[in-house]
Structure 1
Amino acid sequence: MRILVIYNPTAGRRRLGRLRQFVRCLEAAGAAVTVAATAHAGHGRILSRAAWQAGTVTHIVAAGGDGTISEVADGLSGSDLTMGVLPLGTANVLAHELGIPFAPADNARALLSGASRTIWPGQLQTGTQTCLFMQMASAGFDAQVVHHVSLRGKRLLGRTAYAVQAIREAGRYDFPPLHVTIDGEACRTFGVVVSKGRFYGGRHVLAPEATPLRRGFSVTLLDAPGTGQMARAGLGLLRDRPDQVPGMRRVRASHIRLIAPACAPVQHDGDASGHLPLVISDAPFPLRIAV
């Protein structure tokens, strides 16, 4: 096996130790391993596509958080390579979703075993980019939080950094109405989360019916604005009871278009992704993930 590991160096020293253990386990089993660090946003996409097109590897592993994973997956769109995931990020939602091992030795054994699952990512198009997302994309308050949470905060506090930033944003976000078209039907909402899988922000259940193993999405809509509504939604997530939150509903969809306002922030897989307008559809190709 010839394995390229694409690593996000912002993960920190403690997680670097887990990466080294993972590489040692692969090399002990006879695999040839190369590690490449990302240098800027979007670099994971460039590295994975270059390695795939050069034909120099049999597997590519994304070592980092959900944002790094989506970048590497984007570079592999259309390939027949198996992608590995070593979860080193803040939330690691896709790893929880697919049951990917967190322990480096167990993860290496899973990759070497050849076991995999085929998933259907989503594709996001804004005015500045077209890219894949693996778990979810959103516009509104939670995207506002992602746009402003600091890397230093995530390093120090982990997922708690998002909760702290949400408190800060609650006093200054004005909850503009979002104009969305879902499979051709127009509606108005105050927040949209488009999910490929069940989980949100770690292992909190937002869309229990969603699965990345088939085409389509679960779309969560907020029908009421304000910090009180967001507090109720947050409490429902913590209790894994999204169906019991008043003013929050979900629908199945295959094509979502968000038109206005143009200032509304967008995020996918925990990374800031510009602003509206936004179009979401299924990716053109499935992707094989080692599990």
Structure 2
Amino acid sequence: MNERIARILVVYNPMAGRRRITRLRRFVQGLRAGGAEVTVAATGHAGHGRILSRDAGPDGAFTHVVAAGGDGTISEVADGLLEAMRPSFPPASLSMPGPVMGVLPLGTANVLAHELGVAFAPGDNARALLSGRWRTIWPGRIEAGGQARIFVQMASAGFDAQVVNHLSLRAKRVLGRGAYAVQAIREAGRYDFPPLQVVLDGQAHTAFGIVCSKGRFYGGRHVLAPEATPLARGFSVTLLDEPGAGPIARVALGLLCDRPDRVRGLRRVRASHIALTAPDGLALQHDGDPSGGSVPCIITDAAHPLRIAV
């Protein structure tokens, strides 16, 4: 095995559950069987994955930093790696310093893993990581309330952000992806669908919900934006043009059938700079977790790309 990929930090979300700990152990065993030196660090609170990966830094201590968890853990690790790279990154350069990021999907939806074809089986994932293959992705950046966070798959405001912000961790552990459907039914009767003012690359729009996608998939392997890719700059922006539970039900059916183009009142626009304003307190979410801020916000590409092991 190439010595360059021998030192690996695994950032693990212990909320993943007992069955997933077994998968983590098999993954680590596979890495060590391949000759890698492996350090496992468990997150202790929201945002801890960002701190752990930031401290791994571009100083050569680790050649890979692996996010072992769900999409929220992945976005935290990506955020920390990009922060660590910032001082050493040549402007406008693709000569990327720092560790390659790995992904061991252990979460509820695992959208980025589906998007990039990352192996779910721990042994296969370990072998793929040690092979040295990687792809370059361009994460997104959401700025609200003076704070900025990185996301790798999507960010949104409106009904689905309301669902994410009110969803309990216990429900996710018990019901998995079904928890989102249950919470959506609860929110459909009480969410009032305030209008959002959306500016996409200088063009003004009004919508009752917005999803800014880096990739095709939403909530697992449901196709929302078939033209989107995390391998390029920019976003596919999905706008909900009609308020109410009826349009939301149509969107849900369109997602289940992987036919978003046939949903009345839903449209997509390609954009690189998104500015949102709405009534104060309208929630935001990114990569399936609350963003910790609210509209108004600005969404752009991250300053630099990331290498993801595949």
The answer on 1:263 being equivalent to 2:268 is no
Q: SS at the partner of 2:57?
A: helix
- State which drifts further: 280-289 or 259-268: 259-268
The answer on 1:187 being equivalent to 2:205 is yes
Q: SS at the partner of 1:243?
A: helix
The answer on 1:113 being equivalent to 2:131 is yes
Question: Where in structure 2 are the equivalents of 1:138-157 lying within 5 Å?
Answer: 138-157=156-175
Task: Specify the code of the residue in structure 1 equivalent to 2:196.
Answer: L
Number of aligned positions between the proteins: 291
- Give, in angstroms, the shift of residue 183 of structure 1: 0.5
1:3 to 8, 11, 21: 8
In the other structure, the counterpart of 1:22 is 27
CA distance in 2, matches of 1:3, 1:12: 22
In the other structure, the counterpart of 1:251 is 269
CA distance in 2, matches of 1:268, 1:128: 16
1:214 to 232, 250, 254: 232
In the other structure, the counterpart of 2:308 is 289
The answer on 1:50 being equivalent to 2:69 is no
Question: What 5-or-longer segments of structure 2 have no aligned partner?
Answer: 1-5, 86-96
- Give, in angstroms, the shift of residue 55 of structure 1: 3.1
The answer on 1:97 being equivalent to 2:115 is yes
- Give, in angstroms, the shift of residue 128 of structure 1: 4.7
Question: What 5-or-longer segments of structure 1 have no aligned partner?
Answer: none
Q: SS at the partner of 1:261?
A: coil
Whether contact under 8 Å (2:154, 2:215) holds in the other structure is yes
Partner deviation per Cα, 1:123-162 (whole Å, 9 max, x = no partner):
1101152011000000000000000111111111100000
CA distance in 1, matches of 2:213, 2:280: 22
RMSD: 0.8
2:73 to 68, 71, 80: 68
In the other structure, the counterpart of 2:90 is none
Question: Where in structure 2 are the equivalents of 1:158-173 lying within 5 Å?
Answer: 158-173=176-191
CA distance in 1, matches of 2:299, 2:54: 22
- Give, in angstroms, the shift of residue 105 of structure 1: 0.2
Percent identity, please. 73
Partner deviation per Cα, 1:160-202 (whole Å, 9 max, x = no partner):
0000000001111000001111111111100000000000000
In the other structure, the counterpart of 2:251 is 233
- State which drifts further: 92-101 or 38-47: 38-47
Partner deviation per Cα, 1:182-235 (whole Å, 9 max, x = no partner):
111111100000000000000000000000011000000000000000000000
CA distance in 1, matches of 2:98, 2:10: 17
2:38 to 33, 36, 58: 33
Task: Specify the code of the residue in structure 2 equivalent to 1:69.
Answer: I
Instruction: After the TM superposition, list the runs of 4 or more consecutive aligned residues in structure 1 that deviate by more than 3 angstroms.
Output: none
In the other structure, the counterpart of 2:217 is 199
- State which drifts further: 186-195 or 125-134: 125-134
Q: SS at the partner of 1:76?
A: helix
Q: Structure 1-normalised TM-score?
A: 0.99
Task: Specify the code of the residue in structure 2 equivalent to 1:187.
Answer: H
Whether contact under 8 Å (1:182, 1:257) holds in the other structure is yes
Whether contact under 8 Å (1:179, 1:261) holds in the other structure is no
- Give, in angstroms, the shift of residue 53 of structure 1: 4.6
- State which drifts further: 219-228 or 257-266: 257-266
- State which drifts further: 157-166 or 122-131: 122-131
CA distance in 1, matches of 2:231, 2:240: 26
- State which drifts further: 26-35 or 45-54: 45-54
